[in-house]
Structure 1
């Protein structure tokens, strides 16, 4: 029997949705998803507690029965949602997390402050916290920080929760990190093989940067995708073979000899930012690894103790005297560059997780090369990291407005406004790590004229989105035809070998 959903008849204008459009409408609908998911988990949690009461057991009791309270409720959830048993179990698990372990964070999802996906990331980061008082403190700390964060992405939510765990339960986080272990696993199947390296986050960052250093050494005529180049570079590094350019030109100078590759490795830098008190052991304040995120204090000290670690103090107070290079006011000083990347941690575009040291530094209010004193300043208040894509979007996008504000408390905020008028304001992600940076006094005046931007040289795609889509479909069709031809050949070979059926 077909039943029409009641939701198709709901008048959403009653909650203001019908009067919105563009990004504001999308944001309102996402907030609605959070509320509906909260109500779903509330209903599942009520089913669990009712079933536990009828069975005379507690939800957290040891129950070895295969068909226990969770199994019974999960089965009904699976039937109602038309999902697999494992998916229903996940929903029951999240319901318990929302109403027993992380109720304050769950209410942020209910109120539209964070998304359903962001809540899932927080659950993942806090799974290892077992003590009831500890998880309550993590819940309260995470919720309080996210409530004042502005626009929250999945990565933001994950980092805030991890920071709470790192500072409130450092011993537990350290034990779980050490228990993970290291190793190399090689698995094969009919079509290929996978190599999995389980290692520390700092070694993974060095490996990643090393592969990039080799893979990006090719000339502009190399026809391989970046992913394939990274694969070939990794294989060359592991097997001690030569990594060559794929342009096909025998006179290409991009193929690097061992000495050049060694020089590239010498330039590989992985950035960790931490408070001096953390390095000295006076505090357990968390640190930050570019490209990964929050590190517990012991992990920071462990990295600092490496023989290849170079420790450089960052003079925040010195930025009051100079933020731009003396001979080139467009370029920030090393201290200013480091401070800006450290306080943002990643691309400043809401939701973008591109590591800060792989981003461009952008003058939010454009620098005026003809009259430097008239345009946007090279200063902490006017600089933020943007990945190359979002930097291009800011430069060439019509109707978009970027802004950066430092409030009276020294908190650095960025604001992005779409052509529709919808705007999102987000706090610098690592303001907790450099709380005094926004209090550094600016020595420049207000901009009176933004610099001019050359918009006639916008880069172009190698092919349109439609062409890329067609190429992908053709590749899939070709693969299917190949598989069908292989299957037909195998069937024919078997028929020839075994002969016709005996009838």
Structure 2
């Protein structure tokens, strides 16, 4: 762009231009973090300067509409050409970076976390009012994030939430109780919305229950998954019937009331917590699959529910019983639970698909012909992957997945792209099961990993281009339909009005 000073800056000393592929993207994201940190510093300097001119402190209570904050926010809005609300958020983030979360902000400056991840940390720590507590949360969150490897937005938010849950458990409990529960129905011109405010565990249970009903249709059902989930939810709330819309009278997917009840019996919500948390001896946080970190009091509330079942997890026993006795490929229930719990979600960097909705993958391929020669069914060689990333890992060329257990027992995954860029990430819930990686392995090194038959790779029904063209055709068809209806309405109105009066 003409007149843009950044077009004249030589960025080669920081790697831009000398890198390619994922490495270049990583450098550019780090640059975004540094520039945003500088923006926040500039905004905060404007705020402090304006406060000094007015003879007030930045944090002083000011009942004027046009206070120091409003004046600075207006200048930010003009400079960025954004709405007033967006500018207010920028000034708020600048204050957070300077006053409440300076250590986490420096991680953004250093490229450890993204700009969006910093925003998620701010969101998770908003309810902490005490100065000493927020300083402790800032230090704890920053120290944890710096040691995690590749950090996603979800990782940053979960880490901050855990720090808040363990350092300010009373505050978390109070805010959770104030939030309350309820059902709100709203209407507008185009439709209606139903919002249910409830606890995380009930929200996850509702989500799983709706999916359990909505996914029991045959391949000929014409509805999208979102529409099916809507229809299933309405049927459940109104005691109606949810059925496949294929129209086939012999469709096996249309179940009876007993079949629906059987589906609900299979819905399970997984909460993992330390025994000391359940006994009340500690305030160590727990983990709810599909939600994330729970404070200790919340964990104990869930454990006290009448429909809760508590099962101890024998970590030490995995040394000799990681795989099922009759099938070396299948992990035991304890091993399966431990690996999903310690990762918390899909192990692919940045993927937030919940662990119990993922496949449990052998990182080094299991050899079905010679079990001892291939990748072992062992905590050192297992991690959860969502179906999409499992397929990519299995069939994509020139990608390398690896898993390492360090001397402290932390489990790390490594993903290397075809361009040679590597992301190393620690299992996100290492804090929850710190002893899992210390379990001794009883197997040898893999000498002949299992082979992959590319013919088994799933195919698309349509290519990406065909799907894009089909989507465009649907849009055009809809527009033509609307135009024809509008023309017909106009013609009908002319005919109804009769001939002109001349």
TM-score bracket relative to the smaller structure = over 0.9
Shift of residue 483, structure 1, vs aligned partner: 4.6
1:502–1:163 distance in 2 versus 1, CA, 3 Å: farther
Q: 3-state DSSP class of the match of 1:384?
A: strand
1:309–1:55 distance in 2 versus 1, CA, 3 Å: same
Question: What residue number does 1:279 align with?
Answer: 278
Shift of residue 234, structure 1, vs aligned partner: 1.1
Cα separation, 2, equivalents of 1:86 and 1:500? 53
Cα separation, 1, equivalents of 2:83 and 2:500? 41
Shift of residue 248, structure 1, vs aligned partner: 2.0
1:485–1:176 distance in 2 versus 1, CA, 3 Å: farther
Shift of residue 221, structure 1, vs aligned partner: 2.2
1:328–1:64 distance in 2 versus 1, CA, 3 Å: same
Shift of residue 207, structure 1, vs aligned partner: 0.7
- Provide, for residues 172-197 of structure 1, a one-character-per-residue CA deviation record: whole Å limited to 9, x for no partner: 11111111121112222233222111
1:498–1:80 distance in 2 versus 1, CA, 3 Å: farther
Aligned pairs for 1:62-461 (under 5 A) are 62-461=61-460
- Provide, for residues 318-370 of structure 1, a one-character-per-residue CA deviation record: whole Å limited to 9, x for no partner: 11121001110000011000000000000000000000000000000000011
Cα separation, 1, equivalents of 2:424 and 2:451? 25
1:79–1:501 distance in 2 versus 1, CA, 3 Å: farther
Task: Confirm or deny: 8 A CA contact 2:374 2:450 kept in the other structure.
Answer: yes
Shift of residue 496, structure 1, vs aligned partner: 7.4
Cα separation, 1, equivalents of 2:499 and 2:51? 62
Q: 3-state DSSP class of the match of 1:14?
A: helix
Cα separation, 1, equivalents of 2:137 and 2:390? 35
Cα separation, 1, equivalents of 2:172 and 2:487? 54
Task: Confirm or deny: 8 A CA contact 2:411 2:426 kept in the other structure.
Answer: yes
Task: Confirm or deny: 8 A CA contact 2:330 2:377 kept in the other structure.
Answer: yes
Shift of residue 99, structure 1, vs aligned partner: 0.6
Cα separation, 1, equivalents of 2:499 and 2:65? 49
User: Which consecutive residues of structure 2, in runs of 5 or more, have no partner in the other structure?
Assistant: none
- Provide, for residues 69-126 of structure 1, a one-character-per-residue CA deviation record: whole Å limited to 9, x for no partner: 1111111111111111111111000000001000000000000000000000000000
Task: Confirm or deny: 8 A CA contact 2:15 2:24 kept in the other structure.
Answer: no
Q: 3-state DSSP class of the match of 2:184?
A: strand
- Provide, for residues 125-160 of structure 1, a one-character-per-residue CA deviation record: whole Å limited to 9, x for no partner: 000000000000000000000000000000000000
Shift of residue 237, structure 1, vs aligned partner: 1.0
- Provide, for residues 213-251 of structure 1, a one-character-per-residue CA deviation record: whole Å limited to 9, x for no partner: 111111222222211111111111111121111222111
Q: 3-state DSSP class of the match of 1:218?
A: coil
Q: 3-state DSSP class of the match of 2:268?
A: coil
Greater Cα offset, 44-53 or 231-240 = 231-240
Shift of residue 472, structure 1, vs aligned partner: 2.4
Cα separation, 2, equivalents of 1:491 and 1:87? 42
- Provide, for residues 263-291 of structure 1, a one-character-per-residue CA deviation record: whole Å limited to 9, x for no partner: 11011000000000000111000000000
Cα separation, 2, equivalents of 1:492 and 1:50? 65
Greater Cα offset, 450-459 or 32-41 = 450-459
TM-score with structure 1 length normalisation?
A: 0.96
Cα separation, 2, equivalents of 1:36 and 1:500? 68
Q: 3-state DSSP class of the match of 1:18?
A: coil
Cα separation, 1, equivalents of 2:500 and 2:169? 69
Shift of residue 209, structure 1, vs aligned partner: 0.7
Cα separation, 2, equivalents of 1:75 and 1:478? 44
